[in-house]
Every structure is written in C-alpha cells, then in structure tokens.
C-alpha cells in the first residue's frame, strides 16, 4: 500500500510542478513528427530471436542486441515502474505456482496482437487451491 500511495503522491506532485512551470509558456512550433514504434513486437523479430512465436522465457537469459525488448521503453524513456512491475509479477507468480494447480480450459493457444498480445478467446482456467507455500504450514503474509 505504501508503494501505491507513494507512487500516486509523487506523480501528482511532479505533474503539479510541471503544469505550474509550463503555464503561460508558448510551445515552439516545429514540423510534426510521426513516431510509431511498435514496442510490443520488437522481441518478435526472427532476426533477433530464433522462433519468436514459441513461448520461451529463457531466450532473455543470454545477451541480446540493445533495444530488442522495449516493452518498458529504453534509455532516458525507461519506465519508472519497471522494477515495481517486475517484483509484482514475481510475487504474483510465486503465489500462483506455490498455492494453486491450474488447468487451461481452452485447448486453442491462439494470440492476437492488437497492439498488445492477448489470448484470442480469453484465458479461462480451472484453479485448485493446494495449500499454503510454507514449511511451517502458516501463511507468510
């Protein structure tokens, strides 16, 4: 909760100061810039990753060319929440793997990219609670 509140507070303070700073300033006119960068598909380039359509999370273990995966941006435009997203994903997956068994209800494994990859028919699953992931039998939460 602290991270959520702190993130919200710091973002709102930053935006308040930016609006205050920029208020009344004229924007410089320049020719329009067309920027269309499909960040959600950069890691799907067969020139960078062999068989990019195959689910293989270990492809990211080794070195890869710079900017071959830019889901969180890159360089000076790197998302400030990248580490929070990583930790949130790891904690969620830990609890799913250690406390539940699940089975996919849909045998079809078709994804669409519009613009982000999503299961075509949703992702219905059956969950079975298998207990708490603790050697003492008590929740660590």
11: region left, alpha or beta (phi > 0 left; psi from -120 to 50 alpha): alpha
C-beta atoms surrounding 49 within 10 Å: 19
**How far apart are the C-alpha atoms of 132 and 95, rounded to whole Å?**
9
- Is 106 marked within a binding site? no
* Torsion, Cα of 5, 8, 10, 13 (10° steps): -130
Specify binding-site residues for heme.
Answer: 79
Annotated binding residues, written as ranges, equal 79
């Amino acid at each position: 909760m602290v991270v959520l509140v702190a993130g919200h507070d710091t973002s709102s303070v930053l935006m308040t100061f930016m609006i205050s700073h920029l208020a009344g300033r004229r924007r410089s006119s320049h020719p329009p810039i067309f920027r269309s960068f499909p960040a959600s598909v950069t890691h799907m380039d067969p020139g960078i990753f062999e068989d990019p359509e195959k689910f293989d999370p270990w492809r990211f273990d080794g070195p890869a060319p710079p900017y071959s995966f830019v889901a969180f941006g890159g360089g000076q435009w790197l998302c400030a929440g990248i580490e929070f997203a990583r930790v949130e994903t790891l904690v969620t997956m830990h609890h799913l793997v250690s406390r539940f068994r699940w089975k996919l209800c849909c045998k079809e494994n078709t994804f669409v990219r519009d613009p982000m990859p999503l299961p075509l028919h949703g992702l219905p699953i059956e969950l079975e609670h298998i207990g708490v992931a603790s050697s003492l039998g008590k929740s660590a939460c």
